[in-house]
Amino acid sequence: MKKIEIIIFTFLLLGGILGVAKLIKNYQLRVAKEEAAMQRIQDTQKLVVKVADEIGIDNAGRFVPIEKQIEDAWGNPLAIEQFASKTSENVWIRSAGPDETLNTEDDIVFKRYRLSMANTTGTIAEEFGRQFRGFLDADQNSATPSSVDE
């Protein structure tokens, strides 16, 4: 081999080695970013559950509003929605997630419900009572001895 061919071969070989090294380094960086992103998601999932667990309940059986601002792993405030229906108290703790925009597919949401008959007008409880009494009546009727042939 001529000297020039050896030099060219050496540069090509070195370039190939450096190219592979760069590919490996880029792959490692991408994996590290993905792992960090997954860790943020897991940390935020734990946080929203923790916040939901820390929400107190007042003497009337309603969730106590949270006064402090709590931030997710991306530094954005959690959105805490508290509302009531006729039969339940509801709290939704929402993180905007990786895209840092609320109400998108990647939001991390924990929903906590507490059944509450205190908010009803009585119609649900009354209907349940009627159905339960009907069940008891049917059960008692089936428990009575059948007529015996005489």
The structure tokens 């428990």 sit at: 143
For residue 142, the model assigns a pLDDT of 44
- 66: Cα within 13 Å, side-chain hemisphere: 20
Residue 146 confidence (pLDDT) above 50: no
Q: Looking at per-residue confidence, does 98 or 54 come out higher?
A: 98
Q: How far is Cα of residue 58 from the mean position of the Cα atoms in its chain?
A: 25
Rounded average pLDDT over 121-142: 56
Residue 99 confidence (pLDDT) above 60: yes
- Model confidence over 8-42: pLDDT tens digits? 777 777 777 877 888 888 999 999 999 999 999 99
* Residue ranges of domains in the chain: 3-136
For residue 33, the model assigns a pLDDT of 94
For residue 125, the model assigns a pLDDT of 59
